[in-house]
Amino acid sequence: MTTADLHTLTGAYALHALAPDESAEFERHLLACDACAQEVAELSATAGRLGLAVSAVPPDRLKERVMRLVATERQLPPAVRETGRPGAGVQRHRTLTRWALAACVAAAAGLGGVAVWQHQEAQDARAQVQAAQDGSRRLAAVLSAPDARTVAGKLNDGASGTVVVSRSENRAAFIASGLPKPPDGKVYQLWYDDTGTMRSAGLITSPSASQAVLLTGHIGKASGMGITVEPAGGSTSPTSNPLALMKFPT
């Protein structure tokens, strides 16, 4: 199994879907690949959320059914002492009945709201897992493409970066090594160089010792890429001097 193939197994490993020999090979790969190790940790946490969020969505007619049953079910009168005031027992009974009806309706609405919230949580978690798996597949496709070409460059503080370009995939990947944590409130931002005009290509929000990142968007007419330090959330255009500018290999 090639390294590119191993990069695509993070989702299956997190869900314990690999054969024993594949799992052992992938675990050896994790020891040397911080990017995959981080992704496995994130996917495992998401899978845990999915397990907690499993629930049944209440039927649309639940509220109507509850209201119908409440209206037809005989209410037992409360056990109260006679006060001697005419109508006091009846008034007490009616008050408690109204409270019982309100409580039933509130309970039905509350349970329905919790189930809907849990269902939405499960949907969101599934979407995150799917997005992570799609990203891994696209990254692996670039790294293993027959026409993949690479060029390396130096960054600050002894860090280095390598850009991998596949014209057939129309995508590029950036592999960072030794990238330090950015200052508080800052992130690393990647850019496509469209003949002097910089186009955002995504953020590196949690840098690690070594990681591979798929640049956001297609290469298009870009001739190179760069990396800068930007405020949290990124910028529409670079606000600092680039840590590196690298021409795409031809």
Q: What percentage of the chain reaches a pLDDT higher than 90?
A: 20
- Angle CA 20–22–23, to nearest 5: 60
Half-sphere exposure of 16 (CA within 13 A, CB side): 2
Q: Give me Rg for the CA atoms of the chain.
A: 29
Dist. CA 132–CA 13, nearest whole Å = 13
Which phi and psi angles does 219 have, rounded to 5°?
Answer: -65, -45
Burial (CB count <10 Å: 0-12, 13-18, 19+), residue 185: exposed
Residues in the chain, how many?
250
Question: Is the pTM higher than 0.85?
Answer: no
pLDDT range class, residue 90, cuts 50, 70, 90: very low
- Alpha carbon 172 to chain centroid distance? 22
Confidence check: pLDDT of 59 > 90: no
Any alpha helices (H) in the chain, and if so which ranges?
Answer: 3-7, 10-14, 20-30, 34-53, 62-72, 88-143
pLDDT band at 17 (very low <50, low <70, confident <90, very high): confident
Phi, then psi, of 32 in degrees rounded to 5 = -115, 0
**How far is Cα 22 from Cα 36, in angstroms, rounded to an integer?**
15
| Residue 168 or 40, more confident | 168
Q: What is the mean pLDDT of the chain?
A: 74
- pLDDT of 230 above 90: yes
In this predicted structure, the answer to whether residue 221 has a pLDDT above a threshold of 80 is yes
Dihedral sign from CA coordinates of 201, 31, 127, 117: negative
Q: Taking 50 as the threshold, does the pLDDT of residue 213 lie above it?
A: yes
User: Any idea which residue has 């930007």 for tokens?
Assistant: 230
Rounded to 5 degrees, what are φ and ψ at 210?
A: -150, 125
Res 145: pLDDT: 85
Closest alpha carbon to 202 in 190, 194, 210, 192: 190
